[in-house]
Structure 1
């Protein structure tokens, strides 16, 4: 087995928080229970993902605020918040508030680009400015400045009995160092490093250029190296990898069969870049912890990182997630050199 160049230091997981529209409370409660389980198992972080106008978490900040009151140690993140749906000033206030409530455990991850299905939602989202909204990196820069304490206005002081601040309140001093950008291109990796953010790299990358080989690990590795080359912290700059990884050590025969079928169904999209954006997907990894550790140690990009936020499959049930997380923490993590609190 190839030896990983960096021992796994931080183990996390990502969930979409699916729910039945007939009973959304049960689905949200399930997500909170899974986060609580993650803390008990020793996971370093739990991440949730936005799903607007779908049957998944549409308001991760609210969910993480609830999770912050039911946990004490585990870090809580978004992977990712698409800023096309957000006002950076209001989001900065919400993030700082939850960070304060959590005792400094929030790790907000963001991305840019037009909202999904923008032509269908723009009249509801931006009825007066839909044709002039900027969905580029400037939106991230605004959020960064506001979270890091740059003035939001030229006014501050007392007006009657009220006092006004020129910076976002509450201000959480450490939050600016815990902002992440979710990127899948060389350009996004470069921009993230130049702006001293942390870098989330997932199971999707762009195979840029028609001559680019369809080698997911090699492309992801080039992004990680470009990010660190541009970041002021260099090789110490934080990168988290988010592959779909499903250990089966304690799974029932039915679970193993469903997990294998899930991965097989998604495998064809991994063989070549997809669509005009040339998106390349990583295969889902399913197997025993020993098998998964071997495959991960052979993954060129995995060997460059020491943090992961393994993605839970979107369509499984609560009991499946309990089994997968338990095997991750008790078998796969140790097989990768991870220890709780390490």
Structure 2
């Protein structure tokens, strides 16, 4: 890696796991094959997104449970699970179970805030408590406490022939250190650091102190590390949309360029009342993308990434992108594939 940045130490990818409503099994199987391909190519991690009431993965934990039985080395993560949809105690049980099944490879990423389009789903999701649910950081702390093994009841012992624990079972001791927070603001970045989480920073940030994406993202990374007990060693993973085209066909290149062009207007100014700022997609030969990343102020301060795959491409497109990223782009950034 040139221009003074950190050599890339860990390379990952992120997929939404799209499927056809009339044939969801085929789409889920395609996602699992993609995770297997990532392991063969030497990727360090593979991440799946949450999509509720859409045609993408609604239950990443279930999909990753299946992936634990079809992979042996690659780390598996969620980027991210919106906790507004979850009961932290039940989610802690599921996450610990999958972590045990994986041999300690799970990297759960979570976010706070009310469910998207809450007014549409509140009566189905929380029919009796919709107005009193807490969707802020306290919900995340509850999950962290449950995963770390703090008591959730005042009883531990035997009733008749049944034995009971006072903490979530199974307990996976290393899981707490692999908890990630998906933050897009200075406040959330600081909070993640103060609570000793890892930070997932993506292609969307809140334009608070600047309208330059890289400048804003850099401020989040520095605020996170300033607040984290591990300081500059605190883990940050960046997730931009990156599409190398070296081995792509002419048809694929045209598709990729059209996809990026359609999304480019939203990157020119903050969007909506929340002033969300989107990063441009990076499309082109691996060498060109490496040069652009080397000049990216925020990328220069991270040594691990989970590049996001575009939402609507075909399986063969994803295979081409993953292959070029692993064989060309990653090494150009200083990364070496896992054995």
**For this structure pair, what is the TM-score category when the shorter chain's length is used for normalisation?**
over 0.9
1:63 matched to which residue of 2?
Answer: 63
CA offset at residue 155 of structure 1? Answer: 1.1
CA offset at residue 4 of structure 1? Answer: 4.1
Alignment pair present for 1:335 and 2:317: no
Alignment of 1:245-260 (within 5 A): 245-260=242-257
2:91 matched to which residue of 1?
Answer: 91
Q: Distance in 1 between matches of 2:89 and 2:216?
A: 34
Alignment of 1:109-188 (within 5 A): 109-188=109-188
Secondary structure at the aligned position of 2:108 is classed as strand
Secondary structure at the aligned position of 1:5 is classed as coil
Aligned residues: 339
CA offset at residue 2 of structure 1? Answer: 5.0
Deviation per residue, 1:21-48 (Å, 9 max, x gap):
0100000000000000000000000000
Secondary structure at the aligned position of 1:54 is classed as coil
Q: Distance in 1 between matches of 2:57 and 2:36?
A: 17
CA offset at residue 313 of structure 1? Answer: 0.1
Q: Distance in 2 between matches of 1:337 and 1:65?
A: 31
Deviation per residue, 1:158-198 (Å, 9 max, x gap):
00000000000000000000000000000000000000000
1:302 matched to which residue of 2?
Answer: 299
2:224 matched to which residue of 1?
Answer: 227
2:214 matched to which residue of 1?
Answer: 217
Alignment of 1:2-41 (within 5 A): 2-41=2-41
Secondary structure at the aligned position of 2:277 is classed as strand
Q: Distance in 2 between matches of 1:309 and 1:197?
A: 17
CA offset at residue 244 of structure 1? Answer: 0.2
Question: Does 212-221 or 246-255 show the bigger shift?
Answer: 212-221
Structure 1 gap ranges (5+): none
Q: Distance in 2 between matches of 1:106 and 1:191?
A: 22
Post-superposition, which runs of at least 4 consecutive aligned residues in structure 1 deviate over 4 A?
Answer: none
Q: Distance in 2 between matches of 1:213 and 1:107?
A: 31
Of 285, 288, 293 in structure 2, the residue corresponding to residue 288 of structure 1 is 285
1:241 matched to which residue of 2?
Answer: 238
What is the RMSD of the two structures over their aligned residues, measured on CA atoms?
0.9
Q: Distance in 2 between matches of 1:74 and 1:213?
A: 37
2:205 matched to which residue of 1?
Answer: 205
2:320 matched to which residue of 1?
Answer: 323
Q: Distance in 1 between matches of 2:150 and 2:273?
A: 38
Q: Distance in 1 between matches of 2:89 and 2:211?
A: 39
Secondary structure at the aligned position of 2:77 is classed as strand
Q: Distance in 2 between matches of 1:153 and 1:221?
A: 42
Secondary structure at the aligned position of 2:307 is classed as strand
Q: TM-score, normalised by structure 1?
A: 0.98
Structure 2 gap ranges (5+): none
CA offset at residue 315 of structure 1? Answer: 0.4
Q: TM-score, normalised by structure 2?
A: 0.99
Deviation per residue, 1:72-101 (Å, 9 max, x gap):
000000000000000000000000000000
Secondary structure at the aligned position of 2:323 is classed as helix
Deviation per residue, 1:297-328 (Å, 9 max, x gap):
00000000000000000000000000000001
Q: Distance in 2 between matches of 1:302 and 1:9?
A: 12
